[in-house]
Amino acid sequence: MKNKINLFVISFFLVFCFVIFYKGLNNSSIYTPKNINKKNIPIFEAKDLNSSAYLNSKIIFQEDTFYIVNVWASWCAPCRVEHPLLMELSKNQSIKLVGINYRDNLNNAKKFINELGNPYFQTIIDSDGTLSVEFGAYGVPETFIIDKNKMIIKKITGPINEKIVKEIKLIIK
C-alpha cells in the first residue's frame, strides 16, 4: 500500500515537471509589467551589444546629463525612419543616447548600426524583451527621456519626428 502511494506521488510529480518544462519551452518570453507608471529608471544589468560585457544601469547612467533611451530593432521599419533624427540628437553634447536592442538577431542589429551609423553611446541587448517592458515600452520604437535626477520624464511611443526633436531640445535647455 505504501509503495503504491509512493508510486502515485512520484508519477504525479513527474507529470507535473514534464508539463511545466513542456510549457516553458513554448512560452518563454511573455512578460507583463506590474507597474507601468513607475517613474524611476529600472535597475538592471544587461549585455553590451558590441562587447557583450555586462553593464549595469548605475554605470550607464552615471553621468550628470540628460539621457535618451531608445528601444529599437533591426526588423522594425519605423526605426529606420527615425534613425537620422537620432543621429542628429546624438551630436548634442548635453544628452546621451542609450539604445535598447529589442528582441533582435544580433548580427542583423550590428549590420543595422554599421549601415546607418551609431547614435548611441551605449547599446544594450534585450533579447527577451523584459528590459524594455521594465522601462514601460509597449513596442518598438519607443523613446524615453530621462532627466538629471534619473527620472523618466517623457515617453514617446512610435518613431520620433522633427517636432519631437525640437521638444526634446527644449526640455534639455
Partner 1 sequence: MLANQIGYYSLILGLLLSVLLCGVSIKDFNRGSKQISQDILSLTFLQLVFVIVGFLSLVLSFIKSDFSNETVFNNSHTTKPLFYKISGTWGNHEGSLLLWLLVLTLFIFLFLIKSKEQPKKYRILTLLFQQIIIIGFFLFVLTTSNPFNYLFPIPSEGLGLNPILQDPALAIHPPILYLGYVGTSIIFSSSLAAVTQSYVSKEWGQHIKKWVLVSWIFLTIGIMLGSIWAYYELGWGGFWFWDPVENVSLMPWLTLTALLHCIIVLEKRAALTSWVVILSITTFTLSMCGTFLVRSGILNSVHTFANDPARGIFILIFLFILIILSLGIFFLFHKENSKKLNNFFWLSRETSILINNWFMMYFLAVVLIGTVYPIFLDVISSEKISVGPPFYQKLIAPFLIPFLLFMSLGPRLKWIKSKIENKRSLIVTFIISVMLTFFIIKNLTTDLLFYTVLISAAFFLFFTTLKELFIKKFNNISQTVAHFGFSLLILSILFNSILSSEIITNIKIGEKYSYSRGEIFFKKIEENKKNNYNSIIAYFEIKDENGKIIELKPEIRIYNQPVIITSEADIKTTLLEDKFLVMNLVKGNEYFNIRYQIKPFMIWIWISVLLLGLGGLISLFKTRYEK
The one among 38, 80, 103, 110 contacting partner 1 by CB under 8 A? 110
Answer positive or negative: Cα dihedral of 151, 59, 72, 90.
positive
Q: Is position 35 an interface residue for partner 1 (rule: CB under 8 A)?
A: no
Decide: 54 and 47 in contact? Cβ < 8 Å.
Answer: yes
Q: Is position 120 an interface residue for partner 1 (rule: CB under 8 A)?
A: yes
Q: Is position 167 an interface residue for partner 1 (rule: CB under 8 A)?
A: no
Q: Is position 54 an interface residue for partner 1 (rule: CB under 8 A)?
A: yes
Q: Is position 107 an interface residue for partner 1 (rule: CB under 8 A)?
A: yes
The one among 1, 2, 5, 30 contacting partner 1 by CB under 8 A? 30
Q: Is position 138 an interface residue for partner 1 (rule: CB under 8 A)?
A: no
Omega before 141 within 30 of 0, i.e. cis? yes
The one among 118, 139, 147, 150 contacting partner 1 by CB under 8 A? 118
- Which residue in the block uniquely carries the three cell numbers 527577451? 128
The one among 8, 9, 12, 31 contacting partner 1 by CB under 8 A? 31
Least Cα distance to 41 among 159, 156, 147 occurs for 147
The one among 5, 22, 163, 173 contacting partner 1 by CB under 8 A? 22
Under DSSP, is residue 22 helix (H, G, I), strand (E, B) or coil? helix
Site map for partner 1, 65-84, x if CB under 8 A?
--------------------
Residues making contact with partner 1 (CB under 8 A): 3, 6-7, 10, 14, 18, 20-28, 30-32, 48, 50-54, 59, 90, 107, 110, 114, 118, 120-122, 127-128, 130
